Structure 1
Amino acid sequence: MARGHGPEVGKRRLASELRRLREAAELTIGEVSGHLRCSASKVSRIETGHVGVRPQDARSMLRLYGVDGQELEELVQLAHDARARGWWHAYSEVFTGSFVGLEADADSLRAFQALLIPGLLQTRRYANAVISAMRPNASDAEIKRRVSARMRRQRLLTEASPPSYVAVMDEAVLRREVGGREVMVEQLARLCDAARLPHITLQVVPFGAGAHAGMEGPFLILGFPDEADADVVYVDSTTGGVFLEEPEEVRRYSLMFEHLRACALDHDESVRLISHLAFAVQGGESAM
């Protein structure tokens, strides 16, 4: 499947079009819900992409908005496509939102992490240590399942047409010993290996940079190949992430990311630092 043509992106694009067409037809959500004989909250959730829309309901809505012909059929096809199930549905207890589906279709990913190695670059043992620490009440089976889901997600960076991936990390990420010395040596080596791939750029914000734009926490900016699909920001947290889609919010985070890149070491300098720390830890020295 080509980048930008997956079910989550299709659902997001259809939701945006349905809202635009309803407003152009000067109809309220209440009027549409009355026509469909459903709740107004359902129509609202369809327009925000929180729930999918059945093809027959999409057709009814579009006809109500005065849409017909090829445009109608193309949008109804989007409703069909959005019902497809991606690989992540097998991990529905782990991935509860649309994040992984959108990530799978992005053609550019810009990530910042202040405390952890980005999930797409974690080794299995590092991921196990992180998830175990962050979910102290989880069973061994749950932790194993979450680690497996994270490893499956990482295939995104090694598929035939991977997205460009720029990961900026605070220096603290590299110096925090997670899982023990052996795990950290393996993890730092993994970063050096990933840095050799042409579509991956790593940058480290050194301690010497002082205060910086990413100190509030991690975020990811997802970009898509089709101009109809605007960039979206995903702000992660332990209780679940949130999507930011308003143009002003996306611009703010894009500017933050550019500031972070400007104060970070460049790719080659960052890889040299990571390599140096790997050798130091392997030799028994403290990363600090």
Structure 2
Amino acid sequence: MPEFLGPAIARDRLRVRLRELRESRSMLVEQVVSAVGWPASGLGDVESGARTIQPFALESVLSFYGCGDGETAELIRLARIAWTPLSQARHRLTDEYQQFVGYESEASRITHYQPLIVPGLLQTAAYAMAITATILGARPTDADVVTVVQVRRERQRVVENRLTAGDLLQVVAILDEVVLRRWIGGEEVMRAQLEHLLHQARQAHISLIIMPTAGGGHAGLGGVFELLEFPDSDDDDLVFIESATGDSLSRNPEVTAQYRGKVDRLRAEGEYGDRALRLIQDVLDGR
């Protein structure tokens, strides 16, 4: 099966390879941009990931480096993929969140820990609108609420489209039991959300883990996070941390290792499979 590759990872692979090509020739950024006639900041911005290089501009750099036809064709392919605009760019999102959505759309395993609400990839539209309006203190029809719900639905649609195309991604959703018992949007909305969770938890690509309240404290109580893992060892895993004061995205190996450890502990202590399904059904049955 061909590898799934989207703009975020293509951009990362391209910038890393361009830096390797330059450094292997013991050249400074200024020397390269002077030779190919770029603005002084151009190549540095591309190598740092601050901007994406257009395919026609990349050709002049690769020609200057003396790259062979095979490598040139592959890097041009990456540039074309990287230049594809993300649909989320039309929404008013922070740079960090926009980057996160791009990487999430390409991860092979998405692990989302959420102690307060249903993880976004598993929310119904009605639940998403109700919880977003509550968090923002706004009406469900307000523009900011509608934008968040649209982006959430787009994230879900990306997963659906990848599965339809045969991409074997995995979604690990970890939530606290209290999330099931916090009735958001009224009884009708919440019952539909719980039934949706039951349905989703039976899908082959989803692992649902519930942290029971009777279990006391656990490693996830530090807050919301999403760990994005990629199949190629050359692509750095990422952690996205969401908070009320701002979002952060880290590819630091020490940070991602720390959160992989959190995930391992949560998986070991949480309820999953039939036990998780029974917890949801108990709430639906009023127990």
Same fold (TM over 0.5): yes
Q: Verify the 8 A CA contact 1:88 1:95 in the aligned structure 2.
A: no
- How far off is 1:86 after superposition? 4.3
* Residue type at the aligned position of 1:212: H
- How far off is 1:128 after superposition? 0.7
- How far off is 1:203 after superposition? 0.4
Aligned length: 279
CA distance in 2, matches of 1:127, 1:87: 19
Quote the residue 1:270 is aligned against. Answer: 276
CA distance in 1, matches of 2:278, 2:219: 24
Structure 1 residue aligned with 2:151, among 146, 149, 155? Answer: 149
- How far off is 1:269 after superposition? 1.0
CA distance in 2, matches of 1:34, 1:175: 62
Quote the residue 2:264 is aligned against. Answer: 258
- How far off is 1:191 after superposition? 0.5
Taking a change above 3 Å as real, the CA distance of residues 17 and 238 of structure 1, as seen in their structure-2 partners, is farther
- How far off is 1:114 after superposition? 1.4
Q: Verify the 8 A CA contact 1:218 1:235 in the aligned structure 2.
A: yes
CA distance in 1, matches of 2:82, 2:15: 11
Taking a change above 3 Å as real, the CA distance of residues 276 and 111 of structure 1, as seen in their structure-2 partners, is same
Q: Verify the 8 A CA contact 1:3 1:106 in the aligned structure 2.
A: no
Structure 1: gaps spanning 5 or more residues: none
Pair 1:76-2:76 in alignment? yes
Structure 2 residue aligned with 1:190, among 196, 207, 210? Answer: 196
Aligned pairs for 1:148-227 (under 5 A) are: 148-159=150-161, 160=164, 161=166, 163-227=169-233
CA distance in 2, matches of 1:137, 1:2: 44
SS in 1 for 2:249: strand
- How far off is 1:113 after superposition? 0.9
Quote the residue 2:250 is aligned against. Answer: 244
Taking a change above 3 Å as real, the CA distance of residues 209 and 234 of structure 1, as seen in their structure-2 partners, is same
Quote the residue 1:93 is aligned against. Answer: 92
Mean Cα displacement is larger for which, 94-103 or 158-167? 94-103
* Residue type at the aligned position of 2:72: L
Quote the residue 1:121 is aligned against. Answer: 122
Taking a change above 3 Å as real, the CA distance of residues 233 and 20 of structure 1, as seen in their structure-2 partners, is farther
Pair 1:103-2:92 in alignment? no
Q: Verify the 8 A CA contact 1:29 1:44 in the aligned structure 2.
A: yes
CA distance in 1, matches of 2:274, 2:29: 53
Deviations 1:211-255 (A, max 9, x none): 222222111122223343232222223455322112222211111
Pair 1:136-2:142 in alignment? no
CA distance in 2, matches of 1:74, 1:119: 35
How much identity, in percent, do the aligned residues show? 34
- How far off is 1:201 after superposition? 0.8
Structure 2: gaps spanning 5 or more residues: none
SS in 2 for 1:172: helix
Q: Verify the 8 A CA contact 2:59 2:72 in the aligned structure 1.
A: yes
Taking a change above 3 Å as real, the CA distance of residues 128 and 254 of structure 1, as seen in their structure-2 partners, is same
* Residue type at the aligned position of 1:58: L
Quote the residue 2:14 is aligned against. Answer: 14
Q: Verify the 8 A CA contact 2:91 2:147 in the aligned structure 1.
A: no
CA distance in 1, matches of 2:28, 2:251: 22
SS in 2 for 1:167: strand
* Residue type at the aligned position of 1:22: R
CA distance in 2, matches of 1:66, 1:114: 53
Q: Verify the 8 A CA contact 1:114 1:218 in the aligned structure 2.
A: yes
CA distance in 2, matches of 1:199, 1:46: 35
CA RMSD of aligned residues (A): 2.6
Mean Cα displacement is larger for which, 96-105 or 115-124? 96-105
CA distance in 1, matches of 2:277, 2:2: 31
Q: Verify the 8 A CA contact 1:212 1:260 in the aligned structure 2.
A: yes
Question: TM-score if structure 1 supplies the norm length?
Answer: 0.85
Mean Cα displacement is larger for which, 93-102 or 108-117? 93-102
CA distance in 1, matches of 2:63, 2:221: 48
